[in-house]
Homo-oligomer: A and B are copies of this chain.
Amino acid sequence: MKQIDVCLTPDLLHLHQVENTIVVVADVFRATSCMVTAFAHGVNTIVPVATIDECRDWQERGYLAAAERNARRVDGFELDNSPFTYMNEQIRGANVAMTTTNGTLAITRSRQAVKVLVGSFLNLEAIVRCLKTERYDVMVLCAGWKGRVNLEDTLFAGALVERLKDSYAMAEDSAIMAWRLYEQGKENLPAYLANSSHIKRLQRLGIQKDITYCLQHDLYDVVPVLRGNALVAMEF
- Name A residues whose Cβ lies closer than 8 Å to a Cβ of B: 8-9, 11-12, 14-15, 145-151, 154, 170, 172-174, 176-177, 180-181, 183-185, 195-198
Contacts and interface: CB of A to CB of B under 8 A. Distances in A.
Given A12-B9, A12-B12, A177 B148 contact: no
Contacts of A149: 8, 12, 173-174, 177
A181 B172 contact: no
Number of this chain's copies in the complex: 2
A174 B177 CA distance: 11
Contacts of A151: 173, 176-177
Contacts of A196: 173, 176
Q: Is the interface of A mostly helix, strand, loop or mixed?
A: helix
A197 B172 contact: yes
A156 to B, nearest CB: 13
Nearest to A6: B149
Nearest to A11: B12
A26 B170 CA distance: 24
Nearest to A9: B12
A185 B176 CA distance: 12
Contacts of A170: 195
A15 B149 CA distance: 10
A26 to B, nearest CB: 14
**Which among A154, A180, A195, A198 has the highest number of chain B CB atoms within 10 Å?**
A180
A6 to B, nearest CB: 9
A38 to B, nearest CB: 26
A190 to B, nearest CB: 15
Nearest to A172: B197
